[in-house]
Amino acid sequence: MKTHKVNRVRPFSAFIDACVKEPYSFARLLKDIIAGITVGIIAIPLAMALAIGSGVPPQYGLYTAAIAGIIIAVTGGSRYSVSGPTAAFVVILYPVSQQFGLSGLLIATLMSGIILVVMGLARFGKLIEYIPVSVTLGFTSGIAITIATMQIKDFFGLEMSHVPETYIDKVIALGARSTDNPSWRYINRRNHSLSINLLA
């Protein structure tokens, strides 16, 4: 029986092939620097935004992106991989951080990592073929709407000492504070950020 290449991936194999078996030249170093700068332009603000959306300080997003990127690059089995923070977890992590704090968030992250490793070893990834496209589209659309709603407070500069955990309560609280006078400082920052994004 022929084994697929994906099933023969070994940890550290990509690092060994790229840096040990093949000579690491100055030209490859320049390419890696350019690639790092390109990825950093996207990953740094994304990691900070997702950290804020998860209810933790923005520097934790930078720590996570940097440390996880190094670990995945060294221990990964694929030479070409896509790894980094994802917005899908903001909806899940925000209630955890609000209810259990940073320690609870770390424990939840560790537990989810263990579950993912077990599922990977058990080859559960192939089960994604049986998930309907409508479920994936609905899940993605729901995440987009939820994240957009979570940014309304900062988008309009509304001062709220406490933001409810559930989505419905959050919408009700935002609606109740929508008549408040907005903070022009936040509005100016919003306009500058939107202008930079549109120009980029």
Backbone angles phi, psi at 64, to 5 degrees: -65, -45
Judge whether 113 lies within some domain: no
pLDDT at 165 exceeding the cut of 70? no
- Of 85, 88, 92, 89, the C-alpha closest to 64 is 85
Query: Among 85, 111, 127, where does a domain finish?
Result: 85
Higher pLDDT, 1 or 41: 41
* Integer Cα distance of 71 and 160 in angstroms: 38
Cβ atoms 35, 23 nearer than 8 A: no
- Mean pLDDT score across all residues of the chain: 79
3 state SS for 34-79: HHHHHHHHHHHHHHHHHHHHCCCCHHHHHHHHHHHHHHHHHHCCCC
- Stretch 38-62: mean pLDDT, rounded? 85
5-19, 109-123, 168-182: lowest mean pLDDT where? 5-19
Confidence of residue 134 (pLDDT cuts 50, 70, 90): very high
Query: Is 66 a domain residue?
Result: yes
111 — pLDDT class (breaks 50, 70, 90): very high
Q: Is residue 67 part of a domain?
A: yes
Tell me the residue range of the domain where 161 lies: 151-200
d(CA 171, CA 149): 7
- Other Cβ atoms less than 10 A from the Cβ of 97: the count is 20
Considering the domain boundaries, does residue 166 fall inside one? yes
pLDDT given at position 114: 92
Structural domain includes residue 186: yes
Number of domains in the chain: 2
Position 14 in a domain: yes
Last residue of a domain, one of 85, 120, 142: 85
Query: Does residue 53 belong to any structural domain of this protein?
Result: yes
| 192/38: higher pLDDT | 38
